[in-house]
Amino acid sequence: MVGRTVVITGASAGIGAQAALQFARQGDDVVLLGRSPTKLAAVSDRIAEATGRTPAQYACDFADLSDVRATGGRIAATYRVVDVLANNAGLIAPGRSTTVDGHDLTIQVNHLAPFLLTAHLEPSLTAAAAARVVTTTSAAHSVGWLDPDDLDFERRRWSSWRAYADSKQANVLFTVELSWRLRQTQVSATCLHPGLVRSDFGRGNRLFGLVKRLSPVGFVAPSQAASHLVRLATAPEGLAVPGGYFDSARLGAATSRATDPDLAARLWAVSERLT
């Protein structure tokens, strides 16, 4: 299982950076994606120091779908085979913001951008002997009420938590539909709630910051959360339950709405149109 090509988004900090280091230490060739070239370079230097191999780096802004298309195309052209795609990048916006593509920032970064990147890398994934797509979601998906016909909250009231919960529900639905569409290939798709993580995630969001300050118990280090991602991309359980939702190290139970095949198919059709 070593020596694989592993593409990791959100690799410039937090879970993504730690997962990249863990993958590299076990002998995999990691491909780093992140918005900040400076932060990516720092992670790359750390991996090179630990392993003697310098990983590839791609600066990519998920708030710009043209950048995602270009980066996805470059990676697909460079790597005929991709063994693991870790859709890990994500955010919770401190305030309402619209991307250059006209979409809600949270929905685009957390769902539409990884949806588009996965589509570009699908030929490389299906070329692998046993590829895995692991998408980082959240237990917050359980309070989402995603409407595929109103992803950008043009008709519904927006809040940062509502947009985040919807985007995390979209991650689970995406995994369900991707698993169905690739059922006749050797690609296994799963999603992961890594737990509450002590990182810079959510910085700038007042409520999220308050939770971290008032309830520090239960938060895990980024390296521990990353180990769950690496295990899901490496161990047999990552293949045993296609479309599965994992809570930290164990198979969990996503809500019925997040695993509704009809809703998953509707979201996929809308996402294709929007991207």
Helix, strand, coil tally for the chain in percent (to 5):
50, 15, 40
CA neighbor of 231 nearest in space, from 183, 186, 194 = 194
CA-angle at 248, arms to 238 and 235, nearest 5°:
25
Alpha helices, H only, the chain? 14-25, 37-51, 65-78, 105-107, 113-126, 160-181, 206-214, 222-232, 237-240, 261-274
Query: Phi, psi at residue 221, to the nearest 5°?
Result: -70, 150
**Looking at this protein, which amino acid is placed at residue 41?**
A
Q: Which helix (H) or strand (E) holds 234?
A: none
Place of tokens 């300050």: 213
Strand ordering across the sheet containing 29-34: 56-59, 29-34, 5-8, 84-87, 131-136, 187-193, 245-247, 250-251
Catalytic residue among 58, 79, 164, 245: 164
Place of tokens 């690739």: 182
Q: Is 164 a catalytic residue?
A: yes
Residues involved in catalysis = 164
